[in-house]
Structure 1
């Protein structure tokens, strides 16, 4: 039978990492909750795996190697140990293998040599012009001091006051899925989302418009055919606030939505995929075109209705969008176009902190991103002290279901900037997280304007804009932190940690640990090393194809795959010279050549087919339940069973299965079943697949780095 226009899906399907990156991590230690594979006979490289969260050196796409603390302990750079997208656990979630290192303690011999008294956490921000890491939820909580706190943030002293305030009065973060804690006061929701210090003549009307829209939608949903799109009163209040802010954006020509449409036109040939036919030139849409509202609701509805897949052309969704579109057009028609948001985004873009201030508002408070931001903080900011790094992670590097775009992408499109500045802003997902030795301070009177620092890992020199009075930095100090570029200078992003006047003889070990444990971060600025591992990644890929005869190989079971992979490793070790073998064993701390490749029991017991795909950049992906995926694809969208639908959903929605793997499957079996699994009807197959891949795998469309660590 043909799939319905709505589906349920596995809860927390994205919570586990599901790929063996490139090939293998070091085979040492007791493998509890972690898959550790045999080391390659490369002598120079040791593959690494994903674990804790960026911007800290060990984390997110930093890929620390799983190993025991005795030989090569992971380099500690954060006060929190967690995954970028979920819990530190191992398991099989429906169809995909979840794998990650379980890191219990992140202390290296390098840091053991640094006396605790020298390890002083500095509350560093990107600049001295605002509370850059503060969500607008703080502004209105019935406390006058919350609003006052923002305006104190003009100096470094003010920033420290902001941090103290946030620690003592942490903002309440609510989730659309948890209505018992969500405020139903639309006025508060809108007040919390306004940018600081800017107020337009039309702002005062927004709450009244949103309340009216909430009442309209509450009444309208009584006539829906299915329960899928029916929301409770609190959720409708949040959705009404989102729609009214969207209306403000359209009416005042703020530029957020138009920027999104321009990028989607560039990606897909249509500003509104699945709702507007692709054309060479952007179509002329009415300001409050129903399809715009429909696309917005369809994109954000999973934030309210969890674990379901809903068609973008769902009949009840169309009905909701039509009612909201008419209402917004009528209510905004007589309103003034003066908007506080537009005033805020029109302020100066001279310094990096000007951009960061806007970036933090857009990511934490705007109608496009705040629901995703709330969900992200729930997963990654359990403690108040986690809010600053988690917020920095979200606004700089997280990709969302807005066609895989992040906050930096939308802001770059919305601001009036030269193309060079837009391109620079879009690179902020590659923050230069490293250790920096302060070499000199440049002052004007009592103000430290800039400092010059050397990247201990790459050797590069950075001119860092600070504009601080009473600066905490001193010449010779070793600082761990992240930097982002803006107009020829660099700016601190997130927190910094000071290691005081750490001895210079520690620098080689810091460099070695960064390249081993956090290679994907180091390759952002270590370009010679990046070229080496890119060549090695291509060699790995060529060796895979030479052994198997194809980039995609299917195995009937986990045991069959494990046996085949063991033979492939044997062949690689057999080709190595004795000198290469000895070097690899020494650098990898291996007790014997060709170590075993331990797979988890659930993987070995799997008997529903496993696909193995090698990519010259992404490495090797393992996809479970391949039998269900292939049988579903062969049906060309007709009569898929539940197991087939779920297997296809898991493969596409996993952010660790590379797009090339999915495209290879589609090339052999068509795109019809991909569309059917996501309830997409009567759309071009190529457009459907590209839209789904960008929506769920946005990070793969940015610059990628091989998951291979250098041993230096």
Structure 2
């Protein structure tokens, strides 16, 4: 006798619910919310609601849990959604993007909140574009609002989160990291996105030949270290906030502590040379910059009796927490030769900005400002188009030669003379045609950072300027623009070219995109919402 498939009857288990808990042992409290989550899943499973068959069941199961977590967030006043709404108000001047907020109450449950949570989660996890005003989505939002709103009086609350999020100035660093781990992987807002992103990073590590993995020959340790990228640096599609940003928003702590939490993203990672120790700290020299860091000995237990100063080296990352450097991630011994260390000292990729000394940072800032002035003085614009890569290489070479000859001269602030335009005019070339995006490659000087060279920019500008796009060119333009352009570049182009062709893929006019311009940038390309850091690197002095 053939057994009937039990897919329809497979509901959520306590394991599904506990995935987003910062504790391990369930109680009657968790059983109550699990029951609500299963009711939410039952709605999503109904064919007439428009979700089943379009989205994978695992995504719908997780969505049911997240919707219930949102209700729990409201009941227990955890503060995650309120932090999100507060950030929306700060960034966009409204509580939520995309939706009509005429009857929105920021201190209560709202259909728009459920609609936005559904839109955002399914869009990211299923990698599908959803129309915010689609009938199934809005009907589901109304259903879940009614369903949860009628259960407000009966729903149990807990003070666990008040205790869990109580961050004192003297909190132990690794207790703080436990909170960051929940913020990254296990809270209902960023958890699905970061968990999926981390798994994709691990899969990529296995699929590709990884040089660091080859050198260290320790896959598990490398993966453990990769988690710190998500705990400390990774920006989420939710307002481009990092896990430290989220913790700073919801922590029960003195306000003066919040900037310290946010600055945890300033991690220094690379090869360090052991230089000795005292009772409290190890002394490590960051090889690429020569800077000496005192690293708290509670970070890692090293057998210093067997270590030789100036000889033993290791790969790890350190984070500054309230004036002290802590090893964060994994410590892996490095067996490179003295010759390998010499190579690292001149490797432009061997350092991040926070590994330099303050004096070195100021030197890099000054050099970057000098190069930016040179670019603007020579080309006359921050964005320049070229017919091909050969022309660009020739122009950049001429630019460098010109600046080296004239860098001692004092240029007037804001001078708009373009030596490049003069050069093209002398050669009877059409600078105007190139400036309008007629070329195949472009150079853009990102403020405070450096030169970005791109073949995508001319393509996007061409599509923006076309009188009429083909049907398939609308999504190409939209995704190229919001996926690939940094916020400063996107705004620079938006100020100079028409945006009428920039349309949301599933419909709507250009005004809809204009109204949600900054939201789309953060949603599709959150990683570029970061501190502007120079791309320059210093060479060691002889």
* Normalised TM-score (structure 1): 0.60
Q: Distance in 2 between matches of 1:210 and 1:275?
A: 25
Gaps of 5+ in 1: 1-179, 443-449, 578-605
Residue 114 of structure 2 is aligned to residue 290 of structure 1 = no
Pairing 1:512–2:345 present:
yes
Q: Would the aligned equivalents of 2:17 and 2:30 in 1 still touch at CA under 8 Å?
A: no
Q: Does 1:702 align with 2:530?
A: yes
Pick the aligned partner of 1:313 from 133, 150, 153.
Answer: 133
Q: 1:414 aligns with which of 243, 250, 257?
A: 250
- Contact (CA 8 Å) 2:384, 2:443: kept in 1 or not? yes
Note the aligned Cα RMSD (angstroms).
3.6
Deviations along 1:136-185, whole A, 9 cap, x unmatched? xxxxxxxxxxxxxxxxxxxxxxxxxxxxxxxxxxxxxxxxxxxx9xx964
Check whether the contact 2:474–2:503 (CA below 8 A) recurs between aligned residues: no
Q: CA deviation at 1:302?
A: 2.1
In the other structure, the counterpart of 1:241 is 65
Residue 630 (structure 1) aligned with residue 461 (structure 2) = yes
CA distance in 1 between counterparts of 2:539 and 2:470 reads: 48
Measured after TM superposition, the shift of residue 538 of structure 1 is 2.7
Identify the match of residue 359 of structure 1 among 157, 168, 180. Answer: 180
Partners of 1:217 and 1:324 within 8 A in 2: no
Q: Secondary structure of 2:394's match?
A: helix
Q: Residue 189 and residue 248 in structure 1: after superposition, are their counterparts in 2 closer, same or farther (change >3 A)? A: same
Query: In structure 1, how many angstroms separate the alpha carbons of the residues matched to 2:174 and 2:143?
Result: 41
Quickly say closer, same or farther: Cα 1:451–1:301, change in 2 above 3 A.
Answer: same
Cα shift at 1:289: 0.6
Q: Within 5 A, what are the aligned runs for 1:4-15?
A: none
For residues 139-288 of structure 1, the aligned pairs below 5 Å read 185-196=12-23, 202-219=29-46, 222-224=48-50, 230-275=54-99, 284-285=105-106, 287-288=108-109
Q: Give the counterpart of 1:494 among 329, 351, 369.
A: 329
CA distance in structure 1 between the aligned counterparts of 2:284 and 2:152, rounded to whole angstroms: 53
Residue of structure 1 aligned with 2:394, choices 549, 555, 566: 566
User: Does the CA contact (< 8 Å) of 1:201 and 1:336 recur in 2?
Assistant: no
Distance 2:491 2:16 in 1: 42
Is 1:462 matched with 2:294? yes
Distance change >3 Å, CA 507–CA 428, structure 1 → 2? farther
CA distance 1:554–1:682, change in 2 (3 Å): closer
**Quick check: 2:97–2:519 contact (8 Å CA) kept in 1?**
yes
Q: Give CA deviations for 1:60-99 in whole Å, capped at 9, x if unaligned.
A: xxxxxxxxxxxxxxxxxxxxxxxxxxxxxxxxxxxxxxxx
Match 2:274 to one of 433, 437, 441: 437
Tell me if the contact between 2:12 and 2:38 (Cα under 8 Å) persists in the aligned partners: no
> How far is the alpha carbon of 1:213 from its aligned partner?
0.7
Q: Residues 3-82 of structure 1 correspond to what in structure 2 (within 5 A)?
A: none
Provide the residue aligned with 2:201 in structure 1: 380
Alpha-carbon distance, 1:313 to partner: 2.8
- The count of aligned residue pairs is 478
Once the two structures are superposed, residues 285-323 of structure 1 have per-residue CA deviations (whole angstroms, 9 ceiling, x without a partner) of 3532111111112211123432x3333333322122221
CA distance in 1, matches of 2:317, 2:101: 43
1:99 alignment counterpart = none
Q: Deviations over 1:327-366 (max 9, x none)?
A: 2223443011116555533476712111101111221222
How much does 1:413 deviate?
0.5
Partner of 1:621: 452
1:353-410: CA deviations, max 9, x gaps? Answer: 1110111122122211222223222322246614312211112111121121121211
Does the alignment pair 1:550 with 2:371? no
- Match status 1:665 vs 2:496: no
Tell whether the 8 Å contact from 1:552 to 1:611 is kept in structure 2 after alignment: yes
Higher relative contact order (CA 8 A, sep 6+): 1
Give the match's secondary structure for 2:109: coil
Structure-2 separation of matches of 1:524 and 1:319: 52
Aligned with 2:276: secondary structure?
strand
Distance 1:348 1:205 in 2: 32
Distance 1:711 1:486, change over 3 A: closer
Offset of 1:632 from its aligned partner?
Answer: 4.0
C-alpha separation between the residues in 2 aligned to 1:471 and 1:190? 39
Q: Which runs of 5+ in 2 are unaligned?
A: 1-6, 207-218, 406-436
Structure 2 CA distance for partners of 1:407 and 1:390, relative to 1, 3 Å: same
Question: Matches of 2:488 and 2:134 in 1, distance apart?
Answer: 30
Displacement of 1:635: 6.8
TM-score of the pair, normalised by structure 2: 0.77
Aligned to 1:482: 317
Corresponding residue for residue 431 of structure 2: none
Q: Is 1:329 equivalent to 2:149 in the alignment?
A: yes
User: CA contact under 8 A between 2:522 and 2:529: conserved in structure 1?
Assistant: yes
Aligned to 1:147: none
> Aligned pair in 2 of structure 1 residues 333, 358: CA closer, same or farther (>3 Å)?
same
